[in-house]
Amino acid sequence: MQKKITIIEDNPYIRQGFKETLQSVERYLVINTYDNCEDAIANLDADLPDIVLMDIELPGMCGIEGTKIIRKKLPNTLILIITIFEDSEKVFKSLCAGASGYILKNSNFHMIINDIEEALAGGAPMSLSISRMVIESFQKQYDSPLSIREAEVLQYISEGKSYSKIADELFISKETVKTHTKNIYRKLEVASKEEAIRMANKYKWVKPRFELHD
Amino acid sequence: MYDQARTVITGMIVAGILLIFLPIPLFFFFAGSLAYYIMALMCISTLFFIKKTGIYFGSTLCTLTVSYLVISYIIIKSGGVFSVHIATLYMLMMTGFWVNRRIGHCMIVVNIGALVWIYYSTEKQEVFSFHSDLISGKKYALLFHSCLTLFFGVFFSFVQKSYDKAKAQIRKKQLLEINSLNKLVKKRNQQLESMRQNIASDFHDETGNILAAINQQASILKIRLGNDHHLLPVLENITTSCESLYSSSKDFLWSINNDSDNPMVVFYHLIAFGQNFYNQFEISFSAKPLDKNYYHLLKIAPFASRNIILIFKEAMTNAAKHSGATKVTLKTILFNDYLRIVLQDNGTWKAIDPNSLHNGLQNMERRCKKSNFIFKRYTNNEGTCIEIYIPVSHTSPAPIINQ
């Protein structure tokens, strides 16, 4: 079955490039492309994408906000951020918002296809600086939600080890390492949601519906 | 405080030396002049005391007191209130004002006291009998010297006061100037900082997107042209150029946004590159940086970071693409005034296309020469090693300046 893809990117040339690249592969069907989040979200029920490629800087709603909304509406849809740099704080925030990974805008055909395949296979990339932001973010919490294995993987990435090296040292496959990183991102998303609710409760931005246990 | 201590020490040194030589001619006329050597000795011992303990105020007071006793003794022995040695009392008072105004004020009183003491110790009633009784008498001498003491005392006091005031004003002005300079530097730094951020975000929003757009459009052309077309190599060149421009812009942005004179920061950048790069292959890559304690202690020459990064990017690419290595490690060792960065792989660099290796190695060597790095390449039982020695300077941690 073909995977349905939606592209949200305001630069028409980049949008067209990604579209043609993906359409040239039989597995993928680019169901729609948008230059803003609002239109894409309005058409979400009609498009029902399996994968959303999302730019961060967009006119109107930004990609981070868009990611949150799409994750809520379609929890099983994979959202991949398309970005100039993999190391920015904004990429980290999108991952906190529920994105499963990122693709560099400057990627060639093979890199784009490869990144999407990996995301579909359940993996997610993590760079050294992103890993440090993740560690810092989890350090703020009282007890880490990460399993021992996930914490090890995170630690090794932050030390600069490649996936193969981590796989060798932990006696697991390279794919398993990437699955761990994906799970780390999921826990990060949950943690940042809880953090947001905790902050909102603390400053009485919303009426508390339930109590959080520390 | 510093000013005062400095004045006292300089005064003591000069006075000590002068007091050794000047009394020699006097000695031929008056044996009591030898007593001046007690003062010289006092000055020298006070200097040693200050050097050892750092206490200057008490020792100075002690020296002054002893000086009073010595001078009074000499005066009494050489004619009392009529003695020419009374001039030494004025000299002593002047040195007192030199140390500080309060001591000077005390010394006006002490001088008059000493004069009174000398007056009562004077046996002779008058100097010259042919003068009128009034001005040749003992009383007149006391009165005259007391007036002169007061004159010098008040004079020094006011001169010193206006001098202190001027000094304070200059200091205030200097402080104001320093403050305004500090503010300017701060403002300039903020401007620089925002300029850096602007360059980075401009690249992100503008240049980066345009570059990606060119690259993506080239991709479209490739797809539309299909596999077998004579235009494909041209498109390939566009893609390669885009990629190298992207990567050099990324390095440039990195260098303006980071402390690129710090070799540890440069090394972390290399690690990040290596990790990202080797993740594409089945290559096990790890790195070993220096201990974190060195973080703020080492500095490399400005602009050296660019060459270090380019050399190792080249070396890491060669290791992956031409040597057949499956294991690569990057480590750094501090060796006297050199930082050694070592890239070890378990492949053989010989087995590859001689032309491309030659170029790569030549590039690395050329860059090393340009930056005064020592370049080494050797094979060991583990595989191939690329090693460069980078001159580093050791910096002490920035001093804390008290406001």
Count of domains observed in chain A: 2
In a domain, residue A142? The reply is no
Instruction: Confirm whether A54 is domain-assigned.
Output: yes
Alpha carbon of A35: minimum distance to chain B alpha carbons (Å):
14
Q: Which chain B residue lies closest to A24 (C-alpha atoms)?
A: B223
**Phi/psi of residue A23, each to 5°?**
-70, -20
Helices B87-99 & B101-121, crossing angle to 10 degrees?
160
Same domain, yes or no: A122 and A175: no
A209 lies in some domain: no
Q: Residue B357: what pLDDT?
A: 53
> From the CB of residue B378, how many other CB atoms can be counted at a distance below 10 Å?
8
Mean pLDDT value of segment B297-317: 88
Residue A172's CATH number = 1.10.10.10
Identify whether residues A66 and A167 lie together within a single domain. Answer: no
Contacts of A18 in chain B (CB under 8 A): 216
Q: Measured in Å, how far apart are chain B's first and last C-alpha atoms?
A: 17
Which chain B residues have any C-beta within 8 angstroms of a chain A C-beta? 203-205, 208-209, 211-217, 219-220, 222-224, 239, 242-243, 246, 250, 268, 271-272, 274-276, 278-279, 281-287, 326
What is residue B362's predicted lDDT score, i.e. its pLDDT? 82
Q: CA triplet B34, B40, B43: central angle to 5 degrees?
A: 155
What interface predicted TM-score (ipTM) does this complex get? 0.84
Kindly list the residues from chain B whose CB atom is less than 8 angstroms away from the CB atom of residue A155.
none
Q: How far apart are the first and last CA of chain A?
A: 44
- CATH label of the domain that carries residue A20: 3.40.50.2300
Query: Is the separation of the CB atoms in B327 and B283 below 8 Å?
Result: yes
H or E, element range at B288: strand B284-288
Residue B397 pLDDT level (bands cut at 50, 70, 90): low
In a domain, A23, yes or no: yes
Is A44 contained in some domain? yes
What DSSP line would sit under A3-30, residue for residue? EEEEEE-S-HHHHHHHHHHHHTSTTEEE
Residues A152 and A123 in one domain: no
Higher pLDDT, A93 or B1: A93
- Burial of A207: CB neighbours in 10 Å, binned 0-12, 13-18, 19+: exposed
Predicted TM-score (pTM) of this structure: 0.69
DSSP 8-state code for residue B334: E
The alpha-carbon radius of gyration of chain B (Å, integer) is 41
Q: Is A160's CB within 8 Å of B285's CB? A: yes
Residues A24, A103, single domain; the answer is yes
**Same domain, yes or no: A154 and A130:** no
Helix axes A12-23, A109-120, angle to 10 degrees: 70
A45-68 pLDDT, tens digit per residue, is 999 999 999 999 999 999 999 999
- Chain A residues within 8 A of B287 when measuring between CB atoms: 159-161
Q: Determine whether B311 is exposed, middle or buried from the number of CB atoms within 10 Å of its CB (0-12, 13-18, 19+).
A: buried
CB contact under 8 A, B216 and A168: no
* A121 shares its domain with A196: no
Residues A199 and A124 in one domain: no
Do B219 and A17 count as a contact with CB atoms less than 8 A apart? yes
Q: Write the pLDDT tens digit of every residue in B32-54.
A: 888 889 999 999 999 898 888 88
pLDDT of B353: 53
Mean predicted lDDT score pLDDT of chain B: 85
Q: Which domain holds residue A170?
A: 148-203
Give the three-state DSSP class for B382.
Answer: coil
Residue A212 lies in a domain: no
Angle at A134 between CA A132 and CA A137, to 5 degrees: 110
In the predicted model, residues of chain A with pLDDT beneath 50 are: 208-214
Encode pLDDT of B49-77 as tens digits. Answer: 888 888 888 888 888 899 999 999 999 88
